[in-house]
Structure 1
């Protein structure tokens, strides 16, 4: 998810570093020294690296104290190879065994099923005293290792976690201070990149202003400082944008339940955003949490709408309240609320006809449904793939009916992330759920920390150049 935004955030760090290093070269204020330079995305994951390694070792059944890297690379047939090593150790050939033990796991990864025959040949040559020949093979194997196996990318990533630069670290002889002239071009490029990623104008401006305020005046001693400061500045800016306070739907259900009332939720949006499917997902979601939802088929205008929502209700096993096609949508919503109260059900989900925000008549009808059913929540359902259009639609619906929250569908297919980053900030209402697939279970409650990790995560740091 959000690969496009990730590239733009990473490029901002690279661009700023290029600007400052070029100026330092012209001032003869730069020296190169040995050291490891961490990549942009590595700053967010180093703290958890040790825990991840230990969990992998525990799952594999190996000791956490013994060669974690070798465990990752070891092949299924390594047990038989280890047994062979132990036998040779009993014969007293300690030096040969030591050399083989250090390099073997790398060969295992490459060799697969036929490794046993190869290992036997190597052991025979070792018995004949051909130590140099075995040594040459062991030195050359790691070079072929990169190309040998699909999972070698994980190994390469482990090596790159420390992101050792080809030319080492650049250190500034005299301390440098980030000034406005350093960030001017970089932040302009960032703002253009965000706009290209369907981020709303005011959101892009807010991110750029926050990053500028955070970076200007920072004192740096080496190039890795630039990467770290930029990472933190961007993360802080995005965190502030996406964290819009608001109660979760689950909390509201519990509050209404304590009052002996159902939570009434009305869903609005334009045609084709996945509103009816989302209602089916939410009914399934809360049914599994132990609540009893009821669905109101208040989309009485669109052909097939009642049949569609009935299909979802039957699939997940919840009651549906419906009238004839063309009947009053507000009456359907009212009946559903009364049914929930009479039967002690905790949640009413009201489906409404999709409508463009410019259709005055349908917008007035939507206001009538709200007036009659008196919902606790009015939720706008938008398509994440429409980017800035979804944000503009939410603005219009909010002006017309005062929505309380947002559900974004198709978030799993959104490579840009513009709507997810913008919509809550622009209308000052929280994102409540994200649709992340086409199954009934493919919906998740929105979590700002999870969203932040999607943009700055270790798992997807290796984006294609």
Structure 2
């Protein structure tokens, strides 16, 4: 999920790191030291691993008095392999020294160190030596510049090699540090954040959301003091994560909490669903009926889409599959009357939840929007939920705005979120209309729906792991 946004965020970190390191090199303020380079996403995993370790440590039983002796024995057993490993360490040290050697001759060296030299190779070396002796001073200076470029890019190319990156997102071999501490200035981030804003817009993120993210990141980064290259990555990660966290966390009650509150008053929770055709509105109603049926509630569905051909049959099919009561009238009857009857049925039978299906309609159709207002007046829903297709990106956000202006929606359900690589709608829609996302559709089955959780969403956006979706029970 949201692979496109993940790449945009990580590229922002890489570009800022390159910008500062290039400037530091020009200032002769850069050195390479032994250490471990962390990837952009490794900071999130390390935080999770630290929390898990602390939780495990708190559950450990006290050690017995005999355990230290066993530990000593185990230490003795592993001492021998350490001694045997010394030649390997020396060999790796020699290899490292070889990497540091630079010069014109290394450019002609074969990439395969195991290849034996032939007489023809010796002749070639002699010819090359003669040519080098005749090289003008200008060309020699050019070669020196190229060698500097190679040296500067050595660290980046090495860490981009997947072989050097561990499962924890760490690259072994070394990090850059600054001789004199550097401070991130506005000039360092201006172009980089402009690129980020353009990329967010291309990823179907709403204009106001993209601008807000970029401004927050800028405020969080400018003025930060940097000692090592890892600091740049960590600060960028935290700045982006904090900015996105503010965007996606729109406060609001969950539907489950509202059902409990209404149930305490002896009333059913009435929920009206709106949206255009093709977004998965009717299927979502079937999923929610199944979801709350398994939680111990008794839903009833109102088939208030009375004009579209096959609409009543479609919602009846879902109701029968999950095993809930459906209230329906003849095709072409008054949709508001169907909704009213469903509410009265729920009150009479002591059912806790009424789910009202409505006709899908474009947000620009004034007459049909007026009809929806009538359904709302008659049924008096506690919640009006807009159902949008996450794959439509900015279109879903614009549709939600129009419906919100017309009938004042209370929340959003996004379908097909599991197939959404861009993440534009998920990031934008709640912030734009100032209403919370309540559920996400994450598959085609009746169980494939989950209550929206901002922390879960944040982890999806800032994790490169292929995580299995854990559906809310």
Q: TM-score, normalised by structure 1?
A: 0.76
Identify the match of residue 159 of structure 1 among 137, 158, 166. Answer: 166
2:405 pairs with 1:393: no
Identify the match of residue 434 of structure 1 among 437, 440, 454. Answer: 440
Structure 2 counterpart of 1:128? none
Q: What is the number of equivalent residue pairs in this alignment?
A: 370
Q: Shift in Å at residue 51 of structure 1?
A: 7.5
Q: Shift in Å at residue 48 of structure 1?
A: 3.4
Q: Shift in Å at residue 246 of structure 1?
A: 0.2
Structure 1 counterpart of 2:274? 268
The residue correspondences of 1:33-432 to structure 2 (distance < 5 A) are 33-49=33-49, 159-161=166-168, 163-164=170-171, 168-432=174-438
2:10 pairs with 1:3: no
Structure 2 counterpart of 1:124? none
| Distance of 2:224 and 2:52 partners within structure 1 | 33
Deviations 1:40-63 (A, max 9, x none): 00001113336879999xxxxxxx
2:27 pairs with 1:27: yes
| Distance of 2:388 and 2:199 partners within structure 1 | 23
Q: Shift in Å at residue 159 of structure 1?
A: 2.1
Structure 1: which 5+ residue stretches go unaligned?
57-93, 103-154
| Distance of 1:2 and 1:294 partners within structure 2 | 35
| Distance of 2:377 and 2:50 partners within structure 1 | 56
Deviations 1:69-90 (A, max 9, x none): xxxxxxxxxxxxxxxxxxxxxx
| Distance of 1:320 and 1:157 partners within structure 2 | 59
| Distance of 2:288 and 2:163 partners within structure 1 | 41
| Distance of 1:280 and 1:47 partners within structure 2 | 38
- Largest Rg, 1 or 2: 2
Deviations 1:213-254 (A, max 9, x none): 000000101111100000000000000000000000000000
Distance 1:157 1:385, change over 3 A: farther
Q: Shift in Å at residue 157 of structure 1?
A: 9.4
Structure 1 counterpart of 2:64? none
Q: Shift in Å at residue 161 of structure 1?
A: 1.9
| Distance of 1:202 and 1:287 partners within structure 2 | 39
Distance 1:175 1:392, change over 3 A: same
What is the SS of the residue equivalent to 1:164?
Answer: strand
Structure 2 counterpart of 1:17? 17
| Distance of 1:372 and 1:173 partners within structure 2 | 72
Structure 2 counterpart of 1:73? none
- RMSD of equivalent CA atoms: 2.3
Deviations 1:144-167 (A, max 9, x none): xxxxxxxxxxx979825252255x
Structure 2: which 5+ residue stretches go unaligned?
57-76, 86-161, 468-473
| Distance of 1:12 and 1:50 partners within structure 2 | 26
Identify the match of residue 452 of structure 2 among 446, 450, 462. Answer: 446
Contact preservation (8 Å) 1:45, 1:458:
no
| Distance of 1:186 and 1:308 partners within structure 2 | 50
Distance 1:51 1:421, change over 3 A: closer
